[in-house]
Amino acid sequence: MPLVRIDLNKSYSSDISKKIGDIVYAAMEQEINVPKDDKFQIITRHDASEINIPDSYLGIKYTPGIIIIQITLNGGRSVELKKNFTKKLLKNYIPNYILEKKMYLLV
């Protein structure tokens, strides 16, 4: 049973927050074979002061629009499968929905 935690600024509506969760779940179903209805997510919208991040780190600039996605998976999926999933999620799934350029961080 994967557990997904999504933390984002309150500037995102609850509808957009839920849509991001739906996008992550769809990607998990298609890319890493998560079973139907195996959807356990904690989505938290925060005041700007509650997301404590630097302006930049290692040459990457962060914005107040950052979306932090944490996915906890049980053992059994290869590191390669997880890496491919992360790349596809960022490249193929999320950008198709979010029109304004934001910074996404997967932990």
Tell me which residues are annotated as active site: 2
Q: What are phi and psi of 19, to 5 degrees?
A: -60, -40
DSSP secondary structure code for residue 11 in this structure: T
Name the packing angle between helices 79-88 and 14-32 (round to 10°): 140
